[in-house]
Amino acid sequence: MTYKVTEDGNISTIFLDGEIDMDVTEKAKEIIMPLIEAKKEVHINLKEVQYMDSSGISVLIESHQKATEMGTKVILKEISKSVLKVIMMAKLEQILNLD
């Protein structure tokens, strides 16, 4: 997994790339969580994520819940077909903010 972060005012956009599994979830959390703790609105762009497993979904849930706790939000952007399928399998399409 590789990533890039861009800033636009209070919005931080994280562009993730590659496959997100248990091996990279700690790294993903290290990127996402400090931005949420800084009360940024975090956009996670998933266009280039070809694979995500339950560990990756757990990071999305954790991020969503942390953002709610901090009074901000996480929005998932340009979700790839394969990631959307896993989100729907987990029945989270009504829970997470999908754009």
The footprint of other proteins (CB under 8 A) covers 19, 21-23, 51, 53-55, 57-59, 61-62, 65, 82, 85-86, 89-92, 95
Distance in Å, CB of 7 to other proteins, minimum = 26
Distance in Å, CB of 46 to other proteins, minimum = 15
Instruction: Compute and round to an integer the Cα radius of gyration of the chain.
Output: 12
Nearer to other proteins, 41 or 62 (CB): 62
Query: How far is 72 from 87, CA to CA, in rounded Å?
Result: 21
Q: What are phi and psi of 30, to 5 degrees?
A: -65, -30
**Residue 29 Ramachandran class (φ > 0 left, ψ -120 to 50 alpha, else beta):** alpha
Distance in Å, CB of 89 to other proteins, minimum = 6
Nearer to other proteins, 58 or 72 (CB): 58
